[in-house]
A and B are shown apart, each in its own frame.
Chain A
Amino acid sequence: MGKRIVIDPITRIEGHLRIDCEVDGGKVKDAWASGTMFRGVEQILLGRDPRDAWTITQRFCGVCTTVHAIASVRAVENALQMAVPKNAQFIRNVIIAAHAIHDEIVHFYQLSALDWVDVVSALKADPKATAALAESLSDWPMNGVKVHTATKERLAKFVESGQLGIFANGYWGHPAMKLPPEVNLLAVTHYLQALEVQRKANKIVSILGSKTPHIQNLAVGGVSNPIAVDSQSVLTIERLLAVKESIDSLKQFVNEVYAVDVAAVASFYPEWTKIGKGVTNYLAAPDFPLDERGTKFMTSGGYIANGDIAGMKPITAFGDTFFREHVAESVKHAWYQGGKGALHPYKGETVAEFTDFQEQGKYSFVKAPTFDGKPAQVGPLARVLMAVATKDDAILAHLTKLLGRVESIAKIKLPLEALHSTLGRHAARAVMCCRNVEILEAQYKLLLDNIASGDATTFEKPTFPAGEISGFGFHEAPRGLLSHWVVIEKGVIKNYQAVVPTTWNAAPRNESDVRGPYEESLIDTPLADPERPLEVLRTIHSFDPCLACAVHLIDPSRRDIVQVRAL
Chain B
Amino acid sequence: MTHGGGAARGRVVLGVGNVIMGDEGLGVRCIELLEAAHTLPPDVIVIDGGTSTHELLADLEDLDLLVIVDAVANGAPPGTQVRLVGDEIPAVFSNTLSPHQHGIHDLLATLRLLGREPGRVVALGVVPVRMELGLDLSPEVAAALPVLAARVVAELAGAPPVGHAGAA
A interface, CB within 8 angstroms of B: 1-16, 38, 40-41, 43-44, 56, 59-63, 65, 102, 106, 110-111, 154, 158, 161, 163-166, 192, 195, 198-199, 202-203, 205-206, 211-214, 545-549, 566-567
A60 x B20 contact (CB < 8 A): yes
When distances are taken between beta carbons in the complex, the residues of chain B under 8 Å from A106 are: 54
What are 12 A-B pairs with beta-carbon distances under 8 A?
Answer: A2-B88, A4-B91, A5-B74, A6-B75, A7-B95, A10-B72, A12-B51, A12-B99, A14-B98, A44-B134, A195-B54, A199-B58
Which of B102-110, B140-148, B157-165 has 4 or more CB atoms under 8 Å from chain A? Answer: B102-110
Please tell me if B71 contacts chain A, counting CB pairs below 8 Å: yes
B97 x A9 contact (CB < 8 A): yes
When distances are taken between beta carbons in the complex, the residues of chain A under 8 Å from B43 are: none
Interchain nearest-CB distance for B62 vs A (Å): 13
A158–B110 Cα gap in the complex (Å)?
10
Interchain nearest-CB distance for B81 vs A (Å): 15
A1–B97 Cα gap in the complex (Å)?
25
B73 x A8 contact (CB < 8 A): yes
B97 x A2 contact (CB < 8 A): no
A212 x B2 contact (CB < 8 A): yes
B101 x A11 contact (CB < 8 A): no
A13–B109 Cα gap in the complex (Å)?
22
Out of B58, B102, B134, which one reaches A202, CB within 8 Å?
B58
Please tell me if B80 contacts chain A, counting CB pairs below 8 Å: no
A11 x B109 contact (CB < 8 A): no
B96 x A12 contact (CB < 8 A): yes
A375–B54 Cα gap in the complex (Å)?
32
When distances are taken between beta carbons in the complex, the residues of chain B under 8 Å from A44 are: 20, 133-135
Q: Is the interface of A mostly helix, strand, loop or mixed?
A: loop
The 9 residue pairs across chains A and B that have the minimum distance between CB atoms: A165-B109, A62-B51, A2-B87, A213-B52, A199-B58, A213-B55, A8-B73, A63-B99, A2-B88
Interchain nearest-CB distance for A216 vs B (Å): 10
Out of A14, A566, A567, which one reaches B51, CB within 8 Å?
A14
Interchain nearest-CB distance for B14 vs A (Å): 11
Given contacts A62-B53, A212-B2, contact A14 B74 (CB under 8 A): no
For chain B, residues 44 to 84, give those with C-beta under 8 angstroms from any C-beta of chain A: 48-58, 70-75
B55 x A548 contact (CB < 8 A): no
For chain B, residues 1 to 37, give those with C-beta under 8 angstroms from any C-beta of chain A: 1-2, 5, 17-21, 24-25
Out of A41, A163, A192, A548, which one reaches B97, CB within 8 Å?
A548
